[in-house]
Amino acid sequence: MAQSIIVGVDGSETAVRAAEWAAAEASRRNWRVELIAACDPYGADAVYAHAQDAVRALAEADLRQAAQGIRGEYPEVELGLSTVEGSPAPELLRRAASASMVAVGLRGRGGFAALRIGSVAYQVAVHAPVPAAVVGPEPLRPDDADIVVGMDGSEPARHAAAVAFDYARLTGSTVRAVRVWPAPWAETPERRSSLDEAAVLGSESRRLERDIAPLAERAEDVAYLTEAVEGHPVACLLEAGTEARLLVIGARGRQGFTHLALGGTAHGLLHHARVPIMVVHSA
């Protein structure tokens, strides 16, 4: 069975952008793109049901719009178009179970304008069994822009780095692996002054190099940089990824609560990043 990327579409600007992003990825990999539109008569937080025929007609129009853009730019990509009954997030997650990747727009046509990320995108990022790309309305960066990946030594971070190297191999991008040492703000001034911060960052840099080494050996043609910095993980990764093509992050780091599917760093990046985010759970 051909590998595929599942894309949720709803006519929103970010959904169209997610479809474009997925088509470019599928073209590089010779994958199929499956465009999915949900026919949910209740919609997001609705207090009444819309007419099912009208909902289906709108969903089909959304699919045609997304497909037209892909066929014009990427005619070589095989497309599948499907409408599904029910809420978007569960249907996308169900389809993603048999796909290689899933992509969604940051915030759909419904929902509150003040929200940075919509509920569907967040649920997909939290629960997707495959790498989940969340794409905002900002213009996509060129292929040779860096791919930034957060590395903290956790299993999800190692899987995220493998995804980043794989993506870089296809695009010719450089991987920028960033390890953040959280500044010990809770320490007393006396305790903080006694820390040899240069030594700590040197140790973190060596750990990062050790984590990256196996991936670099398997992908000798991929250029990479490593960077260990002190600060807040979300703030540091946002700064590192300002001009990135893609920001890749493990779903949960080594400091997170084991019962949470999405850690604080991934959560923060989804709410603040201005570039596409790919959330990777452990394989």
Query: Which of these ranges, 3-12, 19-28, 100-109, has the smallest mean pLDDT?
Result: 100-109
Is residue 49 pLDDT above 70, yes or no? no
Q: Given the DSSP bridges, would you call strands 246-250 and 224-230 parallel, antiparallel or unpaired?
A: unpaired
pLDDT value of residue 258: 46
Q: Quick one: pLDDT band at residue 283, thresholds 50, 70, 90?
A: low
pLDDT at 205 over 90: no
Rounded to whole angstroms, the maximal C-alpha distance in the chain is 69
- Asked whether the predicted pLDDT for residue 270 surpasses 80, the reply is yes
CA distance 261 to 251: 7
Q: What is the pLDDT of residue 48?
A: 43
The yes-or-no verdict on residue 148 having pLDDT over 60 is yes
Check if the beta carbon of residue 127 is closer than 8 Å to that of residue 251: no
The span from the CA of 183 to the CA of 168, in Å, is: 30
Instruction: Read off the DSSP letter of residue 170.
Output: H
**Candidate from 91-100, 126-135, 185-194 with smallest mean pLDDT:** 185-194
pLDDT band at 149 (very low <50, low <70, confident <90, very high): very high
DSSP state letter for 227? E
Cα 82-87-88 angle, rounded to 5 deg: 55
Residues constituting the chain: 283
The yes-or-no verdict on residue 39 having pLDDT over 90 is: no
- Average pLDDT value for residue range 83-103: 92
Q: Dihedral angle at the C-alpha atoms of 128, 161, 145, 72, nearest 10 degrees?
A: -40
Q: Which domains does the chain have, with CATH numbers?
A: 4-135 (3.40.50.620), 147-280 (3.40.50.12370)
DSSP string, 4-15: EEEEE--S-HHH
Q: How far is CA 63 from the centre of its chain?
A: 22
pLDDT score of 45 more than 60: no
Degrees (nearest 5) of the Cα angle 163, 166, 169?
A: 150
Q: Taking Cα atoms as reference points, which of 243, 231, 253 lies closest to residue 273?
A: 243
> Which range, of 19-33, 146-160, 192-206, 214-228, averages the lowest pLDDT?
192-206
Question: Quick one: pLDDT at residue 209?
Answer: 92
Radius of gyration of the chain (CA): 20
Alpha helices in 74-196 (DSSP H): 88-96, 119-127, 155-171, 189-194
Average pLDDT, the chain: 85
Q: Helices (DSSP H) in 30-118: which residue ranges?
A: 52-73, 88-96
**pLDDT for the residue numbered 189:** 57
pLDDT of residue 259: 44
How many Cα atoms sit within 13 Å of 77 on the Cβ side? 30
- Give the tens place of pLDDT for each residue, 216-247: 999 889 999 999 998 899 999 999 999 999 99
Bridge partner residues of 250 (DSSP): 280
What pTM value is reported for the model?
Answer: 0.86
CA 10/CA 61 separation, integer angstroms: 9
pLDDT band per the 50, 70, 90 thresholds, residue 193: low
Section 125-131 average pLDDT: 93
pLDDT band at residue 186 using 50, 70 and 90 as cut-offs: very low
Distance (Å) of CA 278 to CA 45, 46, 83, 94: 27, 29, 25, 19
* pLDDT for the residue 132: 96
